[in-house]
Every structure is written in structure tokens, then in C-alpha cells.
Chains A and B, each alone.
Chain A
Amino acid sequence: MYKVKLIVKLKEGVLDPVGNAISSACRTLGFDNVKEVHTGKYIEFIIDANSEEKVREEVKKLAESFLVNPIIEDYFILEIKKI
């Protein structure tokens, strides 16, 4: 069994209204060092597979079939851990 952590984020150039709202809240609160904020999604899976390679294949298929919309989003695997 593997635990997989997947990050889905908006592609560069795609408007991120949530990120912008957080960014302006940071300024309001005086966190002037915060220059940019980007938001995304975090998805965690427990996958039954024999190898890490198989897990990666499975996650890629999942992402490309419906978890990620390639027109507006990118994704990457943050961590794969054998459990």
C-alpha cells in the first residue's frame, strides 16, 4: 500500500481570484513581505499496488481522466510513501 499526496494548481497565466483575495488580505493585515499568493487543491490517496512505478501510472491516469483540467491546471505528486 502507498500513500500519495497530489497537488493540483492553476497554470501560470490563469487568473486565481482566491489567491488574489488572500494576497490583498495579507496586505491589509500588514504582511508586506507577501508578494504573491497562489492557491490549489491537495488530494491524498491510499493506493494498493506492488510498486511505486505502478502507483505513479495509476495517479497519472486518475489525474488525466478527471482530477485535473489541463486547460487551466497543472499537477504534481508531492510525496509517495509506502505504508
Chain B
Amino acid sequence: MKAAVIAYPGSNCEYDTYYVLNNVLNLKTDLIWHTETNLKEYDLIVIPGGFSFGDYLRAGAMAKISPASLALIEEAYKGKFILGICNGFQILTELGLLPGALIVNTSLRFICKFVDLEVINKDTPFTHKIEKDVIKIPIAHFQGNYFIDEDNLKKLEDNKQIVLTYKENPNGSVKDIAGIINEKQNIFGLMPHPERATESILGSRDGYYIFESVIESIRKS
């Protein structure tokens, strides 16, 4: 069992994410540069946070044409587990692997703080090990305002694809959405940073259970 963390020019959470997978969860992990064209050997592919290509044009817009993103699409369609954190979530929506888009926060401010998140759906490969109903994980973003039109929002709700919502909406997201999953439940994107909340010394361990959930899901599959 092996994971990959894809780093783009401008990613800045790739080492944290690598450390968490490799050292905290003891999952063999490779740090992959965005020019990589083959991701076949990985069971889990993570797109970390940061500002890929400086967020030029739109957050994630440039990253979607990197070779590693195209390789990721191939693996995503095979049903491999894909996790997009913050900028990774933005990239997954730009790739069309998750519905909707992430736009500028209503406050026009970069927000970096711990937030309380309601776990709306615990019955997913990424959340089944979470016991609490409300978890504490930090956010750090300027473009985390989730937008989706009404018809597609209804689909998300009907299919139970809304996984995490903010207790207090920090950025203007539709329906307080903080994280969603695709219909097949193998692709999960969220604005909060679970990798920054995996050891008690960091103020919360709630993020740990997201990684633990997906690792157990890989084991079972």
C-alpha cells in the first residue's frame, strides 16, 4: 500500500502532508513532482494545500493542465482514492472531478484559524473512523467560498455528498459547505487542513481520523 503527494510549483503543504502520511500514519508515501506522468502504483493520491502556480487566473486553473493532474484523472476513473486539501480541493473542482467551484471569500480576507466542522456524512471511505459529530480543524485560505448552482446543489444533497460543513460560515460558502465527496465516494475535497490537526501537540487530533479512515478503506478494498 502506497500513497503519493503531488507537489506543484507553489504548493506549500506537501511536506506536512507527506510527514503525516509517512510518519504519523506509517503509510509508505512518495512526494511526486507535478511533471510525473504515471501514478499507477499508488493506492491513494493526495493533492496538498498551497498556491499552485501562484493561484494565477483562478486557484487551481493552471495546475489542472500539469501532467500529474492528467495522470490523476486516469487513476480517479479507475476508482483510486483521491484526497484534495485546500488548494487540492480547488484543483479537483477545476479538473471537474468534484462539482462546483471555489471563489474569493466574501470578506476579501485570507482567513487562517481553527474552525468547528459538522461531520454530515460519516458513512464515507474518508470519514467512517470519525466518532465526534463536530471536529476542530484549521482553515487557511483566500478562495474557499464554495459555489454551486441550485440544481447541482440538490444533487449533492440527495446523494449525501456534503461531508463537512462549517458551524460558523467563515467564507460565504453555499450551505456552509467545507468538504464534499463525489458520487462514487472515491474522491474527497475539503478546504480545512486535516494534516495540521493530526497530533495533540498541534491543538487537535481530529484530522488524523480522515487519514485513518481512507487508509482502512484502502486495506478493505
Q: Is the CB of A72 within 8 A of B103?
A: yes
Which residue from chain B places its CB closest to the CB of A67 in the assembled complex? B57
> Mask for A13-56, Cβ within 8 A of B = 1, else 0?
11101100100000000000000000001000000000000000
Distance of B88 from chain A, by nearest CB (Å): 17
Given A69-B101, A71-B147, A72-B147, is A15 in contact with B106 using a C-beta cutoff of 8 Å? yes
Given A66-B62, A66-B64, A71-B101, is A18 in contact with B108 using a C-beta cutoff of 8 Å? yes
Interface size counted on chain A using CB atoms at 8 A: 14
Which residue from chain B places its CB closest to the CB of A10 in the assembled complex? B103
Interface size counted on chain B using CB atoms at 8 A: 21
B-contacting residues of A (Cβ < 8 Å)? Answer: 10, 13-15, 17-18, 21, 41, 65-67, 69, 71-72
Q: A21-B108, A66-B61, A71-B101 are in contact. List 15 more A-B contacts (CB 8 A).
A: A14-B103, A15-B145, A17-B105, A17-B106, A17-B107, A17-B108, A17-B172, A66-B62, A69-B61, A69-B94, A69-B101, A71-B93, A71-B100, A71-B148, A71-B149
